[in-house]
Amino acid sequence: MSAPLLAVRDLATHFFARNAVLKAVDGVSFTLDAGEILGLVGESGSGKSVTGYSLLGLIDPPGRIVAGSVKLQGRELVGLPTAELRALRGRRLAMVFQDPMTTLNPVLTIAAQIRLAIAAHERVSARAGRARAAEVLTRVGIPDAARRLDAYPHQFSGGMRQRVAIAVALLNRPDVIIADEPTTALDVSIQAQILTEMKALVSELGTALIWISHDLAVVSALASRILVMYAGRIVEQGPTASVLRAPRHPYTSGLLDSLPARAEPGAMLRQIPGLPPTLAALPPGCAFQPRCPRADSLCGMAPQVTLTGVRGWRCHHPLDGGPP
Amino acid sequence: MDADAPFLRFWAAFRENRIALVALAVIVAIALLAVLAPLIAPQDPYDLGRLVLSDARRPPGHVGSGGYVHWLGTDAQGRDLFSAILYGLRISVLIGVAAGIVAFVIGATMGATAAFAGGRSEMLIMRFVDLQLSLPAILLALVLAAVLGQGRLQMIAALVAAQYAYFARTAHGAAATERAKDYVEAALSTPLPARTVLFRHILPNCLPPLIVVATVQVANAIALEATLSFLGVGLPVTEPSLGMLIANGFQYLLSGRYWISIYPGVALIILIVAINLVGDQVRDQLNPRLKR
Amino acid sequence: MTGAAGPPFIAVTSVSKHFDPQLSLGERIAGALGGAVETRAVRAVQDVSLQLARGEVLGLVGESGCGKSTLGRMIAGILPPTTGSVTIDGAPVMSGGRHPRKRTTRVQMIFQDPYASLDPRMRIGDALAEGPVAHRLSARADAAAYVAAWLRKVGLDPDAAQRYPHQFSGGQRQRIAIARALAMRPDVLVCDEPVASLDVSIQAQVLNLFLELRRALSLTMVFISHHLGVVRHVSDRVAIMYLGGIVEIGPAASIYDDPQHPYTRALLASVPQLALQGDVVATFTPIAGELPSPLAPPPGCPFHQRCPLAEPRCRDQVPEMRPVGPQHAAACHVLQPG
């Protein structure tokens, strides 16, 4: 096996609140190969977004990466000076946010935004910048792109704005794009368009993609491999089909069971009891144990990761895998 | 009481700024001095019969005919300046706070009602408020004070007229934002009477920006009252407020008898700066954008 | 459940809602002088009619801007219709006149965002008691017990009454909002995306609560959501909306298993579905094009620009709703009545 493009080891990002340390990400390890699409699934408070931000060094005080390493083609990113990180961002690693206006400047035309994004990493003439802008916008599925270059973000629909944000992320052909719930705020028909385009784009450009979402169905439509996070830790990982069809962790299985599509219409859903974890008051041992039907006294101790080939889970009492 | 009540949460955050805490202590001290002035002050400056002319214009530290030390000196009528300042603060604080409260109630009700009613009444009310805001407050207060004549109530009326518009504009903006929120729709769709929705739901949620405006406006009202009194259209001469004390001492400023003007001025500045410091911290704590 | 004899329980008759742009004086002057000011009204809902039987759950589905929330708000008596009427048991939900008011407590609404739908400065107990006390459903003296009973019914501890909204999680707040609506003893509940902002594991809990309460209190419900799976799960009948109008309506099973309108078909196909078998884990097919602006809806069939089956007549003739199956109707020229 060749060296992975991105290797994350024991990453821990903590937030230092007034009287508590919130372990938003607490010992996350995974790898990402070139051109791979990885799905990162979890509920609010699972640490999935903070993991994404940590990879790019986008953690502001009171948060801090307290341990672990993030290696991009062997180069350590944790602890890099801000200037060097900034040089990497956009060029090697890029981010797409849930709200495209995080990326876009409301007072600049689309052409100007894209020219600025190019100019951050290379010198480019205004004319060449426009040509590049038109090209990337066409590529992300914006019809009539050349004519809409001088429009402002507010003149675009939500879906079109997200496309522009994706175009900006793709601009310098980064090795990795980290997308944080990019379609959550969009309509299902627009979401389907963006998912299709995204899939085609990353395979065409050979870009690796980390797709962060709470929606298992959306992630599985895109990703070849899935990481499920709960309370700052990866509780299950593996190839998409295997994780979804033969979940080993009770949390993954509970999530799947609670989808309405899995139940008879009108029948009670098999719900996961209790509330999502609050980071300020995590139970000792396995964080899922208060909600887990399989929990016993053993679960008071934190379970280690069990790895079998491509699959991994963090549970004392995993479910039977069955045929993958 | 419940530690999570909104006020207690606010207080816990407010306490973190030491300067604001000191300023708040200063305000409390001044308020106490003002309220207790008759007990603390060695002399009743309103009792003209007790004033001794031979004690006039004495520098700080002079022991007057009353047998006590004039720590801050005396003015042209032989008033003990320390006593006069305490009584002056009393009037200034009373008028500033009273004007602030009345302007708050009138302005907030107007602004919130306008935002809630919408349509033509909103336009009429708010255009009127805009019109008034385009005039300098001092000009308006000056004209009104001159027309209404001297006296505490007249002064409060003039200040309210000059200041309610700031509350109205703030309340209008805040209420328009709250009006669009789901909890207001939920209350209206219950249905609850419009009055209940306005006064029990919308107005309480407009309080944070209004309280910020209120701190600023109380300070402004005190300054405005002092200005008017300084110009001679404020309170009657028999009830010297800080502005009038400053005005009275003004003519002696260049003849070396600085204390007659300077000490009341210092008292006024301390009061206004303290209120503004507290106001700044209140604003920082209540501003949702600065929430961590 | 549907097609009961006598007048329908809820009747929505030819309802339209147009929003005029709120122009400032300056904008009006600029507009009069020929400036680029938007003066067209947004046609949020255009000539919608539907009926609900007592005890029925109708799902309203569509993408953003299709008018489903506006329609829901008109049924709930929050927005007065521009034209048309909404009645419950024959009585209008809102009074007429220049300042329409909601007249009934029989219909209550649950909002999408449980963080915005509770007054942040009011204790839960006060917020829940307010409506019932104002409408004499509970005496002020008994309000605490009344509130506690409703909090228990939605699965919360009665101690919640003493606390403020910020002390609860999203799912708990939505339960509180449900308790507040139910404490008014409504016959009808309009739920606008009630689980959209909740975590997946909490969505299931709240959906189960809806199912339980619906049975226990024999509620009639209008359930608005963009989430097709959620709507199918809770609804007896489903109406698909597009650009302010209903394009297809029918029993949930027929709509999902045998969709007729090309938009319904495309919408169902665009949602990633987890497949239990086969190589592909999840499948979906996007719909071409974007939603047209509700400021300038296209002439003819509103869907014709994105429709794979569009014919020339779709461009200028508005299709009528026609039956396509038992209790199942769709508005499409291309469909043969069946």
ipTM for the complex shown: 0.85
In this complex, how many residue pairs, one in chain B and one in chain C, have their CB atoms less than 8 Å apart?
71
pLDDT recorded at residue B288 = 58
Q: Which residue of C has its CA nearest to A43?
A: C199
Lowest mean pLDDT among B256-270, C277-291, C309-323: C277-291
* Among A189, A193, A251, A270, the residue to mutate for chain C (most C Cβ within 10 A): A189
Distances in whole angstroms, Cα of residue C20 to Cα of each of A66, B178, C16, C189, C295: 54, 21, 13, 28, 10
CA distance C294 to C43: 6
Check if the beta carbon of residue C270 is closer than 8 Å to that of residue A192: yes
* Among C88, C110, C121, the residue to mutate for chain B (most B Cβ within 10 A): C121
CA distance C300 to C319: 7
Give the DSSP per-residue string, C138-201: S-GGGHHHHHHHHHHHTT--GGGGGS-GGGS-HHHHHHHHHHHHHTT--SEEEEESTTTTS-HH
With CA atoms as reference, report the closest residue to A74 among A133, A2, A12.
A2
Q: Give per-residue pLDDT as tens, C19-78.
A: 887 777 777 777 777 777 777 788 889 999 999 999 999 999 998 888 999 999 999 999
What residues contact residue C273 under an 8 Å CB cut-off, 6+ apart? Answer: A217, A261, C282, C283, C284
- Report how far Cα B33 is from the mean position of its chain's Cα atoms: 16
Maximum separation of any 2 CA atoms in chain B, in Å: 75
Q: Give the structural domain span for C176.
A: 116-185
Whether residue B66 is predicted with pLDDT greater than 80 in this model: the reply is no
> What is the amino acid identity at position B43?
Q
Query: Residue B262 burial (CB < 10 Å; 0-12/13-18/19+)?
Result: middle
Q: Check B185 against C78: CB less than 8 A apart.
A: yes
Minimal Cβ distance to B186: which of C77, C109, C164 = C109
Whether residue A72 is predicted with pLDDT greater than 60 in this model: the reply is yes
* Token reading at A38: 């990885």
Q: Check A217 against C282: CB less than 8 A apart.
A: yes
Give the DSSP per-residue string, A161-212: HHHHHHHHHHTT--SEEEEESTTTTS-HHHHHHHHHHHHHHHHHHT-EEEEE
CB contact, 8 Å: C61 with chain A? no
Check if the beta carbon of residue A303 is closer than 8 Å to that of residue A297: no
Q: Give per-residue pLDDT as tens, A115-145.
A: 888 888 888 888 888 888 888 888 888 878 8
Strand partners of residue A30? A8
pLDDT recorded at residue A82 = 87
Q: Check C77 against B200: CB less than 8 A apart.
A: no
Alpha carbon of C78: minimum distance to chain A alpha carbons (Å):
25
Alpha carbon of A44: minimum distance to chain C alpha carbons (Å):
7
| CA dihedral sign of residues A121, A125, A131, A137 | positive
pLDDT recorded at residue B221 = 92
Alpha carbon of C256: minimum distance to chain B alpha carbons (Å):
32
Mean per-residue pLDDT, C212-229: 93
Residues of B in contact with C25 (CB under 8 A): 123
Q: Check A265 against C252: CB less than 8 A apart.
A: yes
Residues of C in contact with B172 (CB under 8 A): none
Lowest mean pLDDT among A185-199, B124-138, C236-250: A185-199
Residue C149 lies in a domain: yes
Q: Which residue of C has its CA nearest to A197?
A: C286
pLDDT recorded at residue B284 = 83
In degrees rounded to 5, what are phi and psi of residue C273? -115, 135
Q: Let me know the angle formed at the C-alpha of C92 by C91 and C97, rounded to the nearest 5 degrees.
A: 135
Half-sphere exposure of residue A259: CA atoms within 13 angstroms, side-chain side? 19
Half-sphere exposure of residue A16: CA atoms within 13 angstroms, side-chain side? 7
Distances in whole angstroms, Cα of residue B46 to Cα of each of B43, B50, B77, B243: 9, 9, 11, 16
Alpha carbon of B194: minimum distance to chain C alpha carbons (Å):
10
Residue whose token pair is 């491509």: A310
Sorted by where each begins, the domain ranges of chain A are 6-92+175-263+271-313, 102-173
Whether residue A287 is predicted with pLDDT greater than 80 in this model: the reply is yes
Whether residue A1 is predicted with pLDDT greater than 60 in this model: the reply is no
DSSP structure class, residue B198: I
Query: Residue A291 burial (CB < 10 Å; 0-12/13-18/19+)?
Result: buried
Alpha carbon of C223: minimum distance to chain A alpha carbons (Å):
13
CA distance A215 to A255: 10
Q: Check A44 against C252: CB less than 8 A apart.
A: no
Which pLDDT band, with edges at 50, 70 and 90, does C337 fall under? low
pLDDT recorded at residue C338 = 43
Number of domains in chain C: 1
Residues of B in contact with C120 (CB under 8 A): 6, 183, 205
Check if the beta carbon of residue B78 is closer than 8 Å to that of residue B53: yes
Residue C158 lies in a domain: yes
CA distance A172 to A121: 8
Render the burial of C96-134: b for 16+ CB within 10 Å, e for the rest. Answer: eeeeeebebbbbbbbbbbbbbbbbebbbbbbbbbbbbbb
Q: Which residue of B has its CA nearest to C167?
A: B4
CB contact, 8 Å: B187 with chain C? yes
Minimal Cβ distance to B4: which of C78, C102, C163 = C163
Q: Report helix, strand or coil for B176.
A: helix
pLDDT recorded at residue A324 = 43
pLDDT recorded at residue C2 = 46
Q: Give per-residue pLDDT as tens, A97-107.
A: 988 888 888 88
Which pLDDT band, with edges at 50, 70 and 90, does B238 fall under? confident
> What is the amino acid identity at position B206?
C
Whether residue C106 is predicted with pLDDT greater than 70 in this model: the reply is yes
Helix axes of B152-179 and B203-231: crossing angle, nearest 10 degrees: 150
Alpha helices in B180-258 (DSSP H): 182-189, 194-196, 203-231, 242-250
Mean per-residue pLDDT, A64-75: 92
Which pLDDT band, with edges at 50, 70 and 90, does B292 fall under? very low
Residue C173 lies in a domain: yes
CA distance C28 to C16: 25
Mean pLDDT (chain C, rounded): 89
Alpha helices in chain A (DSSP H): 48-55, 82-88, 110-119, 126-139, 158-170, 188-205, 216-222, 240-245, 250-257
Whether residue B118 is predicted with pLDDT greater than 70 in this model: the reply is yes
pLDDT above 90 covers a percentage of chain B that reads: 36
Residues of B in contact with C73 (CB under 8 A): 185
Whether residue B33 is predicted with pLDDT greater than 50 in this model: the reply is yes
Q: Which residue of C has its CA nearest to B186?
A: C117
Neighbours of C91 (CB within 10 A): 9
Distances in whole angstroms, Cα of residue A126 to Cα of each of A116, A123, A145, A255: 10, 10, 17, 50
DSSP structure class, residue B199: I
Domains for chain B: give ranges and CATH numbers.
Answer: 6-45+73-290 (1.10.3720.10)
What residues contact residue C114 under an 8 Å CB cut-off, 6+ apart? Answer: C170, C171, C173, C174, C176, C177, C197, C198
Which pLDDT band, with edges at 50, 70 and 90, does C3 fall under? very low
Residues of B in contact with C103 (CB under 8 A): 191
Neighbours of A125 (CB within 10 A): 9
Q: Which residue of A has its CA nearest to C65?
A: A187
CA distance C25 to C31: 10
A6-92+175-263+271-313 CATH, one of 3.40.50.20, 3.40.50.300, 2.40.50.140, 3.90.45.10: 3.40.50.300
Residue whose token pair is 């028999």: B238
CA distance B79 to B33: 18
